[in-house]
Chains A and B, each alone.
Chain A
Amino acid sequence: MIRVVLLTALLGLSACADREQVAEAKRSYQGKPDSRSWDNEPLADGSAKWSKGDRASWEHAIEARQLTQHEYKRIEQ
């Protein structure tokens, strides 16, 4: 009985040793690193406000800007 269980377990685990059959060319960027938008200070003119380095606050500012494209909301405000 134990042999049967072991054999079944071995057969089951054999799939884990399968190699990936799909050829995948690993592509990676070779150029210079770029900085992130939220790592900048907001402009002094106050057109957008976020805390430097805080992605969530930058996204909040940019979302507010996006919603200005929504004239139904603008009209109903």
Chain B
Amino acid sequence: MARMKFLCDAERCIECNGCVTACKNENEVPWGVNRRRVVTINDGVAGAEKSISVACMHCSDAPCMAVCPVDCFYRTDDGVVLHDKDLCIGCGYCFYACPFGAPQFPQSGAFGLRGKMDKCTFCAGGPEPDRSEAEFKKYGRNRLAEGKLPACAEMCSTKALLGGDGDVIADIYRERVTRRGKGSEVWGWGTAYGLPSASGGSSQPQPAQRKGTR
């Protein structure tokens, strides 16, 4: 059974923003809403700059789903987290709950009126008839119903962004890491929270094997 996931290889991402553009174009995402964006750390630092493309990660235990007061979220049989815009009240709880900042809110009007939440759909549309005009207008294109993968992953020129069944893309990534001999540490604690040598006396217990990963 497929569990659809994204995986971004920071060793390959060149911050071209092709994925962002592909998403915007494919789904005709309104101005001010970014379903996907590229985040760069250590910008300009030679040898230390890394970029990753971030969007909804379609969590297996999604916090947005847990906090929604109107229960407008659902998970498809392929593990894609979607929501019903007819039910969404635009409260913003999901935005606060999401660790990736995936939920976006279109703003219109003079007083910053917040509209209904919009987020990455893994190019799987929403609860409207598949491949219909109504589905496209509310949620964007339903590429999964066309037997295709999300536009961002398919358009990625360096194939840094992988999309598809978690098991399949993990195998692709594993083989890359094995062949090039590095990259598995990119998503580890060392990158997210600093290496033990750079932690500056943190009280956080550090595993010994983490030393010298780079």
**For window 18-62 of chain A, which residues contact chain B by CB distance below 8 Å?**
27-37, 39-40, 42-43, 47-50, 55, 58-59, 61-62
Determine whether B133 belongs to the interface, using a CB cutoff of 8 Å to chain A.
no
Closest to B75 in A: A29
Tell me whether A58 and B82 are in contact (CB under 8 A).
no
Q: Which residues on the A side are within 8 Å of B148 (C-beta)?
A: 47-48, 65
Determine whether A70 belongs to the interface, using a CB cutoff of 8 Å to chain B.
yes
Tell me whether A28 and B149 are in contact (CB under 8 A).
no
Q: Which residues on the A side are within 8 Å of B144 (C-beta)?
A: 37, 62
Closest to A31 in B: B84
Given contacts A34-B82, A62-B149, contact A69 B2 (CB under 8 A): no
Number of interface residues of A (CB under 8 A): 32
- Select one of A27, A37, A59, A70 contacting B65, CB under 8 A: A27
Total A-B residue contacts, Cβ distance less than 8 Å: 106
Given contacts A59-B2, A62-B144, A69-B162, contact A30 B87 (CB under 8 A): yes
Tell me whether B74 and A40 are in contact (CB under 8 A).
no
1/0 contact trace for B143-171 toward A, CB 8 Å? 01111110001000001001111001100
Q: Could you give 11 example pairs across A and B, Cβ below 8 Å? A: A29-B84, A30-B71, A31-B72, A33-B127, A34-B76, A40-B145, A43-B146, A63-B168, A66-B164, A69-B149, A70-B172
Given contacts A59-B1, A63-B2, A66-B169, 4 further A-B contacts (CB under 8 A): A31-B87, A37-B124, A47-B146, A55-B77
Q: Which residues of A contact B (CB under 8 A)?
A: 27-37, 39-40, 42-43, 47-50, 55, 58-59, 61-63, 65-67, 69-72
